[in-house]
Amino acid sequence: MKKLFLVIISWVISTGCLYAQLETTGVEITDGLEGNAQLKASIEQNLSNFLVACNSAVMNGSKPNVKKVLTSDAQKLLNEMWKTSPMSCPVSKIEEICLQTSTGYQVRNVPVVMLEADEEEQDQELVFTFTPTGLIDGISISIDENKYKEIMDEHESVEDLYRRQVIVDFVENYRTSYNRKDLKYIESVFSDNALIITGKVIREKPKSDYALQSLSRERIVYQKRTKKEYVENLKRVFAGNKYINVQFDDVEVIQHPKLTDIYGVTLKQEWNSDRYRDVGFVFLMIDFQDELNPLIQVRTWQPEKLEGRVLTRDEVFSLGDFDIVRSLVND
């Protein structure tokens, strides 16, 4: 932990911040809890205590003592995240709105420094969910805030708005499950009969011995995997890497025009780990037949580039590439 201490000290010196400022992070909810002063105060205090505890733990080389502000589920999430990378909050005051969800409340855009990530990827933002009484009930790494607003603004009905909120939460928790190496969560969000497709670029050799090597062509070869095979492969990846940082960009959410409980989510994924890095497009087909427990029925991954050019949207998997029948989406 000595390394982490030195990282924080150098950061404090370079920004001119005082040690006391690193340990103290105040929180103010600026909108969303009008008329409920007690809940507002509870969320502000619990989130502030959480961030202060993380800062103190980093400075002391210990684990954050935050049991009084977390539910048992959130404590497990924090333990798993902390095991892969301790985190600190680099600001002394946070001013954010509070959103109401179907199960409680949510505060987004909380800045943190993930100390085990590469230097250029350390600055990230967290999303905190709260119970109706103000306890922290969930922690995840957020998608870009502008993209979040864009996804929400595209809703066509109250039901669609609710599902888009669930999808964003789903995607953010799915992303964070890689960060915390949570195989159980990943298993739980995939249908047992899920279709999983991965692609890799191969270079075809010229047919003629006299052909120039520069004429070699690249193509993507696809492999289909079962849920069990996918999870077993992730298990090996998690065991072989200290820290995994997965980022989702360019997130697009589409509702099926006829089967309105089916959504397609397309995103660009940047995978960074100790031993491997890649960028590619991920497509998820999410089934909302069980509103409280949406499931991934299809997951595809394609490399971002082919022969030096970025794949167009028409070349990336989407809902239109799959014949969806009711037997597919019923487990």
For the entire predicted model, the pTM comes to 0.80
CB 115 within 8 A of CB 7: yes
Q: DSSP state, 182?
A: -
**What's the chain's Rg over C-alpha atoms?**
22
The DSSP H or E segment spanning 188 is: helix 183-189
| pLDDT mean over 158-178 | 88
Token pair of 260, please? 């309105």
| pLDDT mean over 79-87 | 92
Which CATH class name applies to 183-329? Answer: alpha beta
Which of 106-110, 124-128, 247-251 is predicted least confidently?
247-251
Listed in order, the ranges of the chain carrying CATH 3.10.450.50 are 183-329
Which CATH class name applies to 2-142? Answer: alpha beta
pLDDT in tens, 1-35: 444 444 444 444 343 343 444 556 789 999 999 88
| pLDDT mean over 120-130 | 92
Residue 211: pLDDT over 50: no
What lies within 8 Å, CB to CB, of 172 at 6+ separation is: 127, 140, 141, 142, 143
